[in-house]
Amino acid sequence: MARASTTQRKAVVTVCAWAVGLVIFFPILWTILTSFKSEVDAIAIPPKFLNFNWTLDNYHDVQERSRYFLHFMNSVIISLGSTILALIIAIPAAWSMAFVPGRRTKDILMWMLSTKMLPAVGVLVPIYLIFRDFGLLDTRTGLIIVLTMMNLPIVVWMLYTYFKEIPGEILEAARMDGATLSKEIIYILTPMAVPGIASTLLLNVILSWNEAFWTLNLTAANSAPLSAFIASYSSPEGLFYAKLSAASTMAIAPILILGWFSQKQLVRGLTFGAVK
Amino acid sequence: MATQASRAAGRLMISPAVILLLMWMIVPLGMTIYFSFLRYNLLIPGENPFVGLENYSYFFTDPNFWPSLVNTLFLVGGVLLITTVGGVLLALLLDQPMWGQGIVRILVIAPFFVMPTVSALVWKNMFMNPVNGVFAWIANVFGLPAFDFLAHAPLLSIILIVSWQWLPFATLILLTALQSLDSEQLEASEMDGAGPLARFFYIMVPHLSRAATVVILIQTIFLLSVFAEILVTTNGGPGNASTNLTYLVYSQSLLQYDVGLGSAGGIVAVILANIVAIFLMRMIGKNLET
Amino acid sequence: MGQIELKGVAKRFGDAEVIPPLDLKIEDGEFVVFVGPSGCGKSTLLRLIAGLEDVSGGKIEIDGRDATAERPAQRGLAMVFQSYALYPHMSVRKNIAFPLKMAKVPQAEIDAKVNNAAEILNLASYIDRRPGQLSGGQRQRVAIGRAIVRNPQAFLFDEPLSNLDAALRVNMRLEITELHNTLKTTMIYVTHDQVEAMTMADKIVVLQAGKIEQVGSPLDLYNHPKNRFVAGFIGSPKMNFMTGAEAAKHDAHEIGFRPEHIAVGETGDWKGKVTVSEHLGSDTFLHVDTEFGIINVRANGNVDVHHGDTIWMTPDRSKVHRFDAAGNTL
Ligand SMILES: Nc1ncnc2c1ncn2[C@@H]1O[C@H](COP(=O)(O)OP(=O)(O)O)[C@@H](O)[C@H]1O
Ligand SMILES: [Mg+2]
């Protein structure tokens, strides 16, 4: 609203907004703080906000207690791997839909979207059995395959909306200039779409990183990414709040940072371009 | 840009994506449908005879089915209510001029990036725990007895946790929609003598309704399959008090190894989701025209 | 060489026939302008020649060879698009070099050609900038530069000036004409602006609804339009048309006089009341309400006539254009 507002009004709004913002953010803040406490301080009543002995022990313990680094790497490999794989499959498809649309293009897009709406639990049993028979249970490969397919519709859609914004004349100019199809895509389309491709990558890394239905059901000790590994803290074992917090902080920190960079793309990707 | 050659190239380029997705959809879904007609339990080796609709009738008469359906609806409805109403209010607040708007925005959006397992565990242990949780301490400060959220109001607790995760999503999308509202439209209506309330109801609400519909539909898709939050907090309990459809199917197929029954439940979940999906697709499809 | 011949070329989009079969011959070195109202199929025809669209029927020959099935790049034509279609992520130099790079020309030769083009088009001062940092006119030059370096058989222009402001448009018009005089390469130029057509063309092709209405030199079209459509389309302000008794005097179904062929005086054949008078100094345009409807008159110099005045007009009857009931010139 382009409306001149008084300083007073602005001050009131600022206070309200900050209060609400801090309340909403508090669980995350609390987790981060607790991760630096000793286990005793972590359950102290009344709670200790800043007046505790800051320690890094928990981060150390988390790695000792379980192979934290392994699970972290699993998360990285699985989320990046599935996103890149999806991009490789999706870029040509989105090119085709954006620049050589046919009569059925719209139907294909809608159909791809509809596969995203298939509840995972509807295919849990067969996927589980197929994975068991092919030895894919608790492997990174298996999870990469599943997450690639889970994300493919979103990746295609996002790329499609970005590609649509590139004028077809530029690609035609390249064609006149003698570029073959592959050169057209490599030298012209991809560099022009870098921001769009980067956003797509970002959003999908986030979604894959946080995915918790398939990771919980298809992985165990070896290939569990963080989203599944953290669940092992669901059965309490003595004093563990600080360690839980340390593990959680490490699990969410990378994505929290990435996520802040991708707010705009998030809207676009998750609404399939319906809200820009 | 459409010569025979480029159109042929187009078909070639789109086919990997289409074929893979088609396989991803048809093969497992076909298997689920097939299994749902078999008596098939992983713990009972031997024949898997065709039993028609037996699994479906078992599923529908399972004492957990109706509660789980009701729980699913409460979970979806409750979260939708909290997030849309809260989202509209938050979006309106964040759209006002203020100091540090960017930072507040970041604070509000952050929960969306927290993985479901982490947020469920943090809420369960550090907030809702009746002995050591922050809520217990707050109750204590006010001289109230501590409340064991997950034991006495498991579904409500899960609704709160899930709402906390999705409120940022609703806020972000509604805020984006709000900011895309042409400020000249608001100024014009002001010139026309519309007060703040009139502006809200006649200009902003119609503009937001589209975004709100999208928020509701998309969230519904995700909320129908809430799983991790239940698994790490209540395991669907106590009893079946916090079992939703997704969790019921999971427990039947992967805990009780009843493939046939679980498959029938999966198909029911698919049908339920499709009803929502049809509406969502209509909206997005309309948007595609422009 | 750059001779292009269309034989029975037709184009349909689904059921819509955008271009019915047409024949056209473009000679080597000619500056040909396709002109016609918006949506008449000019761009489509140009894109057919370029190879960006497949023909639905007929043959396209370039220098006598059948090019109908050739890919765009094989046809040896260069195109300048309405939106310029510069590659936004490449510098001006890279943009211009791109077609050469695709043709695997050695780097030294590329550099020489790019520098040469930069000199011809006077764009050396911004050769290392990106398109986003250039003005409309500069982008236009880069687009032309990218076309020049390929040494094409013919240049295709699709409304290249329509995104420029009026003053720049006149400048670029002159530059393109000069370029044609220098290079002497065939140019096919599409526009909806008949002034561009008249000023630039050796040969104008007037199109309506995908059909060729007339082909000829600018003055040929001005003096001898084949039909009512061409008569009305070429010339500004538009020709005045009349039917009825006035037409019968000339033994025609309909007649037309160009505004510049009507004289204003104290007495005359027709009487009317001036509704609008536009005084440009060099010319005066009058819109006169008469018994035949509004008549446009163009008088040389300044004529002291204003809104509301009653005036008399006399057409130069030797310059009459006569049409039959079907709109064809008699
Ligand atoms: N790809 C296409 N599909 C369907 N119709 C088209 C296509 N391209 C152009 N047309 C139609 O062909 C006609 C001529 O278009 P065009 O050649 O762009 O006209 P001009 O350039 O003369 O303004 C228009 O009616 C347009 O709607
Ligand atoms: Mg055109």
Specify the range with the lowest mean pLDDT, choosing from A3-17, A126-140, C125-139.
A3-17
**Residue-by-residue DSSP string for B229-273:** HHHHHTTT-STTTT--HHHHHHIIIIIS-BHHHHHHHHHHHHHHH
- Taking the C-alpha atoms of residue B262 and residue B264, their distance in angstroms, rounded to an integer, is 5
- Chain A touching partners, 3 or more CB pairs below 8 A: B, C
Interface probe for A, chosen from C86, C87, C139, C155 (most Cβ of A below 10 Å), is: C87
Nearest chain C residue (CA) to B2: C53
Helices (H), A5-139: 7-34, 39-42, 57-65, 68-99, 105-116, 124-133
pTM: 0.82
**Residue A114 pLDDT grade (very low, low, confident, very high; cuts 50, 70, 90):** confident
Query: Locate tokens 């030294």: which residue?
Result: C108
Amino acid (one-letter) located at C31: F
Q: Is C18 helix (H, G, I), strand (E, B) or coil?
A: strand
| Residue contact A177–C73, C-beta within 8 A | yes
Which residues of chain A neighbour B35 with C-beta distances below 8 Å? 125-126
Residue B275: inside a domain: no
Those of residues 189-218 in A touching chain C at CB distance below 8 A are 191-192, 194
Smallest CA-to-CA distance from B121 within B239, B254, B233, B272 is with B233
Structure tokens at A144: 């990469």
Sheet with strand C57-62: strands edge to edge: C16-26, C4-13, C57-62, C65-66
| Residue contact A174–C103, C-beta within 8 A | no
Domains and CATH numbers, chain C: 4-230 (3.40.50.300), 242-323 (2.40.50.140)
Residue nearest (by alpha carbon) to ligand 1 atom 3 = C13
Q: A218-241: string of b/e by CB count within 10 Å (b at 16+)?
A: bbeeebbbbbbbbbbbbeeeeebb
Higher-pLDDT residue of A58, C214: C214
- Taking the C-alpha atoms of residue A169 and residue C80, their distance in angstroms, rounded to an integer, is 10
| Residue contact A1–B24, C-beta within 8 A | no
Q: Is C310 helix (H, G, I), strand (E, B) or coil?
A: strand
- Taking the C-alpha atoms of residue B31 and residue B48, their distance in angstroms, rounded to an integer, is 14
Those of residues 157-176 in A touching chain C at CB distance below 8 A are 167, 169-170, 172-176
Instruction: Answer for the pair C254, C241: CB distance below 8 angstroms, yes or no.
Output: yes
Residue B47: inside a domain: no
Which burial class, exposed, middle or buried, applies to C158 when counting CB atoms under 10 A from its CB (0-12, 13-18, 19+)? Answer: buried
DSSP letter at A122?
A: G
Question: What is the structure's pLDDT at B236?
Answer: 83
Question: What is the structure's pLDDT at B194?
Answer: 76
Residue A46: inside a domain: no
Residue A166: inside a domain: yes
Question: For residue B287, what are the CA distances in angstroms to A147, B173, B174, B214?
Answer: 27, 16, 17, 11
Structure tokens at C120: 């011809």
- Taking the C-alpha atoms of residue C275 and residue C287, their distance in angstroms, rounded to an integer, is 6
Question: What is the structure's pLDDT at C6?
Answer: 94
Atom of ligand 1 nearest to the CA of C159: 21
User: How far is B102 from chain C, CA to nearest CA, in Å?
Assistant: 29
Mutate to test the pocket of ligand 1, among C11, C12, C34, C44 (most ligand atoms within 8 A of CB): C44
Q: How far, in Å, is the centroid of ligand 2 from the Cα of C289?
A: 35
Residue B43: inside a domain: no
Question: What is the structure's pLDDT at B290?
Answer: 47
CATH of the domain at A149: 1.10.3720.10
C-alpha atoms less than 13 angstroms from C-alpha of B151 in its C-beta half-sphere: 7
Residue A5: inside a domain: no
Q: Is C322 helix (H, G, I), strand (E, B) or coil?
A: strand
Q: How many helices (H) and strands (E) does chain A have?
A: 15, 0
- Find the CB nearest B118 among A125, A251, A272: A251
| Across A63-92, average pLDDT | 90
What residues pair up with C205 in beta bridges, in sequence order? C34, C215
- Taking the C-alpha atoms of residue A236 and residue A233, their distance in angstroms, rounded to an integer, is 6
Q: Is C305 helix (H, G, I), strand (E, B) or coil?
A: coil
Which residues of chain A neighbour B118 with C-beta distances below 8 Å? 31, 227, 230, 248, 251-252
Instruction: Answer for the pair C157, C83: CB distance below 8 angstroms, yes or no.
Output: no
Domain total for chain A?
A: 1
Question: What is the structure's pLDDT at B164?
Answer: 95
Question: What does the pLDDT profile of chain C (330 residues) look like in tens digits?
Answer: 789 999 999 999 888 999 999 999 999 999 999 999 999 999 999 999 999 999 999 999 999 999 998 888 889 899 999 888 999 999 999 999 999 998 899 999 999 999 999 988 888 899 999 999 998 889 999 999 999 998 899 999 999 998 888 888 998 899 999 999 999 999 999 999 999 999 999 999 999 999 999 999 999 999 999 999 999 999 888 999 999 888 888 899 999 999 999 999 888 899 999 999 999 989 999 999 998 889 999 998 888 888 999 999 999 999 999 999 998 998
What is the domain range of residue A238?
A: 65-270
Domain total for chain B?
A: 1
**Residue-by-residue DSSP string for A173-212:** HHHHTT--HHHIIIIIIHHHTHHHHHHHHHHHHHHHHH--
CB pairs under 8 A between A and C: 57
Which residues of chain A neighbour C73 with C-beta distances below 8 Å? 175-179
Atom of ligand 1 nearest to the CA of C47: 17
Output the ligand 1 site: residues, CB below 6 A. Answer: C 13, 18, 36, 38-44
Atom of ligand 1 nearest to the CA of C13: 4
Residue A187: inside a domain: yes
- Taking the C-alpha atoms of residue C233 and residue C230, their distance in angstroms, rounded to an integer, is 5
Residue B174: inside a domain: yes
Nearest chain B residue (CA) to A129: B259
Is residue A268 scored above 60 in pLDDT? yes
Residue A101: inside a domain: yes
Which residues of chain C neighbour A167 with C-beta distances below 8 Å? 83, 85
Structure tokens at C223: 């003096």
Q: What are phi and psi of C13, to 5 degrees?
A: -105, 105
Per-residue 3-state assignment (H helix, E strand, C coil) for C185-229: CEEEEEECCHHHHHHHCCEEEEEECCEEEEEECHHHHHHCCCEHH
CATH of the domain at B180: 1.10.3720.10
Residue B80: inside a domain: yes
Smallest CA-to-CA distance from C189 within C13, C26, C18 is with C26
Atom of ligand 1 nearest to the CA of C46: 17
Pairing of strands C57-62, C4-13: antiparallel
Residue B89: inside a domain: yes
Higher-pLDDT residue of B290, A149: A149
What is the domain range of residue B87?
A: 65-242
Residue B231: inside a domain: yes
Structure tokens at B201: 């109801």
Higher-pLDDT residue of A114, A98: A98
Q: Which H helix or E strand runs over C289?
A: strand C283-290
| Residue contact A110–B90, C-beta within 8 A | no
Q: Quick check: C16 contacting B, CB < 8 Å? A: no
| Across A155-169, average pLDDT | 88
- Taking the C-alpha atoms of residue C212 and residue C215, their distance in angstroms, rounded to an integer, is 7
Mean pLDDT of successive 10-residue segments in chain B (290 residues)? 76 90 89 87 80 85 89 93 93 88 89 91 88 86 84 91 93 87 77 78 80 82 87 85 89 84 88 81 66
Amino acid (one-letter) located at B126: M
Residue nearest (by alpha carbon) to ligand 1 atom 9 = C44
